[in-house]
Amino acid sequence: MTPEQADVIRKLSHSLVAIRSLSEEPRSNQALDRVIDTGKISARLLGLAAFPAMPRFVARADETVVRDRSYGSWEYRKYGAFQTRLDGRVRPVAGHVHCDLAFVARGHSKVVVRGSMTSSGPMDGTLALEGYDAWGRPWKMALQMSGLLLRDDGLPSGGTLSLNGTDPANRSSVVCLKFPVADPVNPVVQKEKRRPTHRGRRY
């Protein structure tokens, strides 16, 4: 694994942890930003066309927008203070976090994250990710986790992670990762030894 690939996997892990945390911190700006980036990071890992960038999203502290529903679930209704708004809900049920979130901007730009995963311990679950750019062109991806254990730095130390998806150019890709893997190491570039340009003295 190269350092660049490891960095992408760490970012994806942080996004997955952020989805988990929404059941307890539904107004977290940092967590919601990471959830928006889940599709972009997944597309990069799959080698698909660049995922559409969404306009600015900022969480609000408005109690009338995020509503606490029964069974500890949270519902978003046009949540957000700038161009991107969030509709959907996060619902913890029987040790799992279920999410159905749609970040919508002006025009056709949209990011949708749906699925469920375990709320603690090893990560098990599935996510469906969709993205649409300003012209409505679709990116669609699916992510599956099984027994995924994360280190403090975000790199998985066990379990499996599988992704598949397509982009508007009808390119498809599949990535299956089984952990642990060797820590990334920067390639060592060996310097070519210079030969002395001066001639030695002759006696």
pLDDT digits (tens, 9 = 90+) for 143-163: 999 999 999 888 999 999 999
Q: Taking 70 as the threshold, does the pLDDT of residue 14 lie above it?
A: yes
Res. 185 pLDDT band, cuts 50 70 90: low
Q: How deeply is 113 buried, as exposed, middle or buried, from its count of CB atoms within 10 A (0-12, 13-18, 19+)?
A: buried
Task: Parse the chain into domains and list their residue ranges.
Answer: 3-179
pLDDT at position 73:
87
Strands, DSSP E only, in 38-154? 66-68, 74-79, 85-93, 96-104, 110-118, 123-132, 138-150
pLDDT digits (tens, 9 = 90+) for 20-47: 999 889 989 999 999 999 999 999 999 9
Q: Which of 169, 24, 9, 41 is nearest to 113 (CA)?
A: 41
> Given this model, what pLDDT does residue 137 score?
94
- What pLDDT is recorded for position 90? 94
Q: What is the pLDDT of residues 68-127, one digit of tens each?
A: 766 778 999 889 888 899 999 999 998 999 999 999 998 889 999 999 999 999 999 999
Length of the chain: 203
Q: The pTM is what?
A: 0.85
What is residue 53's three-state secondary structure? coil
